[in-house]
Amino acid sequence: MTKNIVEDVRAPRSIRDIPIPIEKKKSLSPETHIHITHQTQQTNDIVSDFRQRPNQQPYHENDSEMNYEEEPRNSANYSKYLLWGIVVLCILVLFFAVSSFFTGATVSVTRKSQDMNLSAVSLSAQKNGQTADLEYQTITLSEADSAMVPAQGTEEVDRKASGTIVIYNNFSTAPINLIKNTRFQTPAGLIYRINNAISIPGKKGTTPGRLEVVVYADQTGASYNIDLSDFTIPGFQTDKVKFAQVYGRSKTAMTGGAQGLIKKILPSDELTARTNLENQITQKLIAQAKSQTPDQFVLYANGATTTFEVQPNQDQANNTVQLNEKGTLNAIIINKADLAKALAQKEFTDYDGSPVEIASIENLNFSLSDPATLEKTSGTFLFTGSAKFIWDYDSALFKEALKGKSNKDIPSILTNFPAISKADVVIRPFWISTLPSNTDRIKVVNVQ
């Protein structure tokens, strides 16, 4: 029996079984035609295709419109979410990358310390030596200054310049005797003489014998007022070796020479002016010496002496006289670390020689047991006052021990650094739990 192809196709599902809203229902126009193919095989294929897709939604006139509308909308939403996801991911990656770049740690260290009251602690000291408790060095500076004094009339003068020289005997081990008025000559040909006979000690080994004496200009007048100079002894010219090895050198300038009418000042006015002038020069020299002292050294005012040379006075306008002086400062400087270590050895019976410092070490009271120490190469130093000893450590070695470690490792690390009593660690950023592996990103700060 021949099948009705149209009915077979419609039998599985009829669009008439699907309710359609009245306002949307559309009828076919008279011109609409349905073309039916009468080929049995094609019809069977269509039926088979419907049967193999049981979940296939029934056809609706608006299906084509609905499908073409929903698919682009879903695709656009997906693209939007994907774009935002990529942006958020990039921001997170950038945030963590920047955070990692600024990773660092600050370690606040509290060092072991102890307060002590020093009471005239005595230390043997030696200049540029290592056989005493303490080694020291000296620095020498000079400064010239002047002061104005009112004149009290005029006076006729005829004075010779004078000054101190040091005579050296590098000729023989026996003393050399010089008679009164022995001449000493400068390279410029000026002659100065001694007023008394003297004996220059003989040399000892390679160290020449030496003697300080005052010499006086051969003539009066200001032309003999000169600065420091070398001197030879014309009387030894016949013996070239002796002439070369017995000689003099200035310790002070030659001053005081004058001739003719000069302005007169009262002795009391001159004394007051020179006292003030010398104090002024001393303060300048100490300030200069402290500014030139290396940071690792300390200079105490009581460890400095200043000598003065009176320079020739100069008459000035407005009935005044200018007093001139030159000061030379000789000061002891001591290495701070060496001093702290030497005092710790004196004060702590259990001191093991580890590095130590004294807070505000420059505030200790310093004195010399012998004021002449500055003219020698050794002496005894006395220290008094409150001293806060603070133990030190190798910060580079400490940072090496810290790198890559966490907070819980700090106690065990500190056992290898007895000078550190406490260490507080702050790591950046906050979510990182270990210190940087690069020591350059670890900052160690001493809070004491």
CB-based contact 161:144 (threshold 8 Å)? no
pLDDT the model gives residue 105:
93
Check pLDDT > 70 for residue 246: yes
Indicate whether 175 and 218 sit together in one domain: yes
Query: Would you say residue 215 lies in a domain?
Result: yes
**Which two structure tokens, joined as six digits, stand for 103?**
């990773």
Average pLDDT taken over every residue of the chain: 84
Indicate whether 49 and 82 sit together in one domain: no
**Stretch 389-417: mean pLDDT:** 94
**Stretch 209-217: mean pLDDT:** 95
Domain span holding position 259:
154-263
Indicate whether 191 and 253 sit together in one domain: yes
Q: Which of 244, 263, 282 is the last residue of a domain?
A: 263
The answer to pTM > 0.95 is: no
**Gap between the Cα atoms of 255 and 216, Å rounded:** 10
Query: Would you say residue 176 lies in a domain?
Result: yes
Indicate whether 238 and 192 sit together in one domain: yes
Domain count within the chain:
4
436 DSSP assignment:
-
Query: Would you say residue 126 lies in a domain?
Result: no
Indicate whether 181 and 217 sit together in one domain: yes
Indicate whether 185 and 247 sit together in one domain: yes
Q: Which residues contact 346 (CB under 8 A, 6 or more apart)?
A: 121, 123, 133
How far the first Cα of the chain sits from its last, in Å, is: 113
pLDDT the model gives residue 398:
96
pLDDT the model gives residue 115:
95
**Which two structure tokens, joined as six digits, stand for 1?**
């029996």
Q: Which of 218, 238, 263 is the last residue of a domain?
A: 263
Q: E strands along 392-441, which residues?
A: 420-428
**Three-class secondary structure assignment of 332-385:** EEEEHHHHHHHHHHHHCCCCCCCCEEECCHHHCEEEECCHHHHHCCEEEEEEEE
Q: How far is CA 377 from the centre of its chain?
A: 32
Check pLDDT > 90 for residue 184: yes
**Gap between the Cα atoms of 418 and 421, Å rounded:** 7
pLDDT the model gives residue 288:
95
Task: Provide the pLDDT confidence category of residue 268 given band limits of 50, 70 and 90.
Answer: very high
Indicate whether 259 and 174 sit together in one domain: yes
Query: Would you say residue 316 lies in a domain?
Result: no
pLDDT the model gives residue 24:
44
Position of tokens 């950046």? 428
**Stretch 48-60: mean pLDDT:** 50
Torsion angle of C-alpha atoms 282, 286, 289, 290, degrees rounded to 10? -170
pLDDT the model gives residue 84:
77
pLDDT the model gives residue 9:
47
pLDDT the model gives residue 429:
83
pLDDT tens for 132-168 read: 899 999 999 999 999 999 999 999 999 999 999 999 9
Indicate whether 188 and 210 sit together in one domain: yes
Check pLDDT > 50 for residue 30: no
Task: Provide the pLDDT confidence category of residue 118 given band limits of 50, 70 and 90.
Answer: very high
Query: Would you say residue 161 lies in a domain?
Result: yes
Query: Would you say residue 342 lies in a domain?
Result: no
Query: Would you say residue 301 lies in a domain?
Result: no
Q: Which residues contact 14 (CB under 8 A, 6 or more apart)?
A: none
Q: Which of 263, 284, 306 is the last residue of a domain?
A: 263
Torsion angle of C-alpha atoms 361, 363, 364, 369, degrees rounded to 10? 110
Indicate whether 175 and 257 sit together in one domain: yes
pLDDT the model gives residue 123:
95
Query: Would you say residue 41 lies in a domain?
Result: yes
pLDDT tens for 56-104 read: 555 454 544 444 445 555 666 777 777 777 777 777 666 555 555 568 9
Q: Which residues contact 437 (CB under 8 A, 6 or more apart)?
A: 403, 404
Indicate whether 56 and 68 sit together in one domain: no
